[in-house]
């Protein structure tokens, strides 16, 4: 488990992380979202002891990372896929990490096989594509068979098959009871991967909630209705305070009410329905709503 309490990091007059408090529990993939400059990478660096907090604490399993005796056996992390000596082969890189953490040599071969790099293990890291570098970084994170895994943009550079593999692999790790913490800007991928979401903006916590709750809480979540009496139903729902948009001759999109309420009102009025279903907002839509006031580096129209 990762626990942050009042975590704050200031660089000069810039506040990168601002009083962040949360707990990341095992058995779930937690997606870490936020605009550029929100403080995601800084937060991960603070957890891993690569930066010292200005205030507050970041603990892994109840202790600071710096006090963990065999860190690779406790936490596996991929923050920068290119942070490897370019002249070393992928296998040599993993062997060096294994030796420094008392991990058997056979584990190197196991993780190379797991990430699909067994055939490219002799290539020098400096010659690897970004996608293969990501696979090598994931292999390094898995080396100590840790209970906590942290990944910053792990699917960058991967082809569709690789992205699909990472998605399934993350979920399988969480299903084993591990804590999986993943930062990404790919909303569609996070929607398919994460169980829980942490969203920050300008260093501050915006939301810490299950994915399903974040989607359900979006104002863009709607109810779609198909009925031969669309005009009558639209008038009825508007009188009940709902926003109704006509999508076709017999179709309505209703916001501001639960699907059960729409169905009950139609039933009470004797209006026949041919279709009644929820239209869930996408994570991209929900994310844009949540972060609309926290974009630090926006672009022009």
- Indicate if 87 and 63 belong to the same structural domain: yes
Q: How confident is the model at residue 295 (pLDDT cuts 50, 70, 90)?
A: low
Q: Among 211, 237, 260, which residue terminates a domain? A: 211
Length of the chain as a residue count: 301
- Same domain (yes/no): 147, 270: no
Residues 139 and 120 in one domain: yes
CATH of residue 244's domain is: 3.30.70
Round to whole Å and give the CA distance between 214 and 19: 22
The pTM assigned to this predicted structure is 0.81
Whether residue 296 lies inside any domain: the answer is no
Residues facing 223 on adjacent strands: 254, 278
Same domain, 170 and 25: yes
Stretch 48-56: mean pLDDT = 95
Residues 56 and 193 occupy one common structural domain = yes
Q: Looking at 211, 232, 253, which one is the last position of a domain?
A: 211
Domain shared by 197 and 250, yes or no: no
CB 212 within 8 A of CB 61: no
CA distances from 179 to 74, 77, 100, 162, 230 (A): 11, 12, 24, 21, 48
Same domain, yes or no, for 143 and 230?
no
pLDDT of residue 40: 94
Residue 97, pLDDT > 70, answer yes
The tens digit of pLDDT for each residue in 169-228 reads 999 999 999 999 999 888 989 999 999 999 999 999 999 999 988 887 777 778 999 999
One domain, residues 142 and 97: yes
**Distances, alpha carbon 200 to alpha carbons 19, 34, 40, 289, in Å:** 11, 5, 8, 13
203/236 same-domain check: no
Question: Domain residues for 238?
Answer: 222-279
If asked whether residues 227 and 116 sit together in one domain, one would say no
The reply to whether 294 falls in a domain is: no
Residue 297 has pLDDT above 80, yes or no: no
pLDDT, position 248: 85
Number of domains into which the chain is organized: 2
Nearest to 57 by CA among 67, 71, 47, 70: 47
- The pLDDT of residue 216 is 77
CB 221 within 8 A of CB 280: yes
Average pLDDT of the chain? 91
d(CA 154, CA 78): 7
Which of the listed residues 159, 184, 211 is the one where a domain comes to its end?
Answer: 211
Q: Rounded to whole angstroms, how far apart are CA atoms 249 and 155?
A: 43
């Amino acid at each position: 488990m990762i626990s942050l309490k009042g975590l704050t990091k200031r660089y000069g007059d810039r506040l990168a992380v601002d009083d962040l408090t949360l707990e990341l529990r095992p058995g779930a993939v937690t997606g870490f979202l936020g605009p550029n400059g929100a403080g995601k990478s800084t937060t991960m660096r603070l957890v891993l002891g690569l930066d010292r907090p200005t205030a507050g604490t970041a603990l892994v399993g109840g202790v600071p990372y710096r006090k963990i005796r065999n860190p690779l056996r406790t936490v596996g992390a991929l923050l920068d896929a290119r942070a490897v000596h370019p002249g070393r082969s992928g296998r040599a890189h993993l062997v060096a990490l294994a030796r420094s953490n008392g991990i058997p040599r056979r584990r190197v071969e196991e993780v190379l096989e797991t990430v699909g790099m067994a055939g490219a293990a002799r290539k020098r890291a400096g010659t690897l594509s970004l996608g293969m570098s990501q696979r090598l970084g994931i292999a390094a994170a898995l080396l100590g068979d840790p209970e906590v895994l942290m990944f910053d943009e792990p699917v960058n550079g991967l082809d569709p098959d690789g992205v699909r593999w990472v998605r399934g692999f993350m979920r399988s790790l969480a299903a084993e009871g591990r804590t999986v913490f993943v930062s990404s800007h790919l909303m569609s991928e996070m929607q398919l991967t994460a169980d829980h979401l942490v969203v920050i903006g300008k260093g501050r916590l915006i939301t810490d909630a299950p994915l399903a709750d974040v989607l359900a809480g979006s104002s863009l979540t709607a109810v779609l209705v198909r009925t031969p009496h669309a005009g009558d139903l639209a008038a009825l729902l508007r009188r009940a305070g709902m926003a109704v948009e006509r999508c076709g001759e017999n179709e309505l999109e209703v916001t501001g009410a639960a699907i059960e309420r729409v169905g009950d009102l139609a039933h009470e009025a004797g209006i026949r329905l041919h279709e009644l279903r929820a239209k869930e907002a996408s994570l991209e839509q929900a994310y844009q709503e949540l972060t609309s006031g926290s974009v630090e580096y926006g672009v022009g129209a």
